[in-house]
Amino acid sequence: MSGTSLDGLDLCGVEFRKESARWNAHILAFETIPYLGTPWGERLRAAYQAPGALRQQVSLDFAAWCQTQWLDFNQRHKLSCQAIAHHGHTVEHDPARGITVQIGHESALFASSPIPVVGDFRSASVARGGQGAPLVPIADRDLFGEFEVCVNLGGFSNASWTDSAGMRRAGDLGPCNGLLNGLASELGLDFDPDGIHAAQGSAADDARLRAMEFYHRPFPKSLGREWMEQSFMPEFAAIRPTSTQDALATAAEHIAWTLVHGLRSAGAPPGRVLLSGGGALNADLVRRIANQAPEWAWQVAPGELLQAKEALAFAYLGLLKLRGEPNVLLSYAGGSADGCDGIVFSSVRNI
């Protein structure tokens, strides 16, 4: 899994077992291979703006690099995997125009794999008129059903929950680490550790941001880098304080509001919330969220699950694909129907 925060490649080895009609997941190993010190942060960013030959070359090279990282990871941890689920890296996402593009899915590279490699999870959902994101809610429902709500604090924030009719609902809520990390770079940091700089700042009035159309659009809905660059950042620039600490405080307070507003406006049930993703390591951000929404009990995911959960979820989507079972539901992704989505890049089709 490579996410919009561009911090690195997440590798998760997970064992699934079905007991009493419910799947259980056990993480065998997890690592993040940082992009810092590699060319991948720069090359993936370059692929955003360069459809065509450059993007295709980046995709080929990224696929080969991911395969090497996986083989090394597999050897280090002595795993005996039956399949690989490979998300790739999103370089375009605009479902309103029928577009979602993840690079690093190269059939020529993976077709000879002795075990199935499942990739390209999002395009079929968008082709059906859906959002193609978020895709983890089926894993939230099946693997973490003891929580009323599951929230991922990644490059963007997203959440999923089951409504009163028993339908799984979900959507992107707003910017998150992509905004905070960009501001932290002004201080020479990759991120704001524990939100200490945001905690020392004073938040500006973000009413202008709260009025943005996306926040008042009904679910299902999703966000992409395009919205961040073209819509959000100009509005944020208009209200941000000069001080980076104050800007971080403004961003953190707004992120907390977007999350709480999204859940409340969608009627998400009160109760326990599982927080995962890199943003869950930000103590100041978690505090701001909890202060704004006391009707929920906010629980940070324990241990490796905190950062491994999204990669684990895509492993589960790969499992369902190989079993021929629905892995993307119209109730949260939209579109014309549920889907058993993804492409199997191997002659081995089932497990």
Give yes or no for residue 342 having a pLDDT over 70.
Answer: yes
Percent of the chain's residues with pLDDT above 70: 99
Q: How would residue 349 be classed by pLDDT, with cut points 50, 70 and 90?
A: low
Cα(73)–Cα(33) distance, rounded to whole angstroms?
Answer: 10
Strand 117-119, strand 84-86: pairing: parallel
Cα(296)–Cα(37) distance, rounded to whole angstroms?
Answer: 40
Query: Of 158, 269, 165, whose CA–CA distance to 214 is shortest?
Result: 158
pLDDT tens string 294-306: 999 999 999 999 9
Token pair belonging to 47: 């692929």
Phi and psi at 307, nearest 5°, equal: -105, -15
State the pLDDT at residue 168: 97
Token pair belonging to 109: 């590279």
Query: Of 209, 262, 206, whose CA–CA distance to 231 is shortest?
Result: 209
Give yes or no for residue 208 having a pLDDT over 90.
Answer: yes
**Per this entry, what is the length of the chain?**
351
pLDDT tens string 114-160: 899 999 999 999 999 999 999 999 999 999 999 999 999 999 999 99
Contacts of 319 (CB under 8 A, 6+ apart): 16, 23, 83, 85, 351
Give yes or no for residue 348 having a pLDDT over 70.
Answer: no
Write down all domains in the chain, each with its CATH number in brackets.
Answer: 8-131+337-344 (3.30.420.40), 137-306 (3.30.420.40)
Q: How would residue 351 be classed by pLDDT, with cut points 50, 70 and 90?
A: low
Mean pLDDT of 265-287: 97
Instruction: For the chain, give the mean pLDDT.
Output: 95
State the pLDDT at residue 350: 60
State the pLDDT at residue 65: 95
Cα(137)–Cα(82) distance, rounded to whole angstroms?
Answer: 23
Give yes or no for residue 107 having a pLDDT over 90.
Answer: no
Contacts of 278 (CB under 8 A, 6+ apart): 5, 7, 153, 154, 177, 191, 307
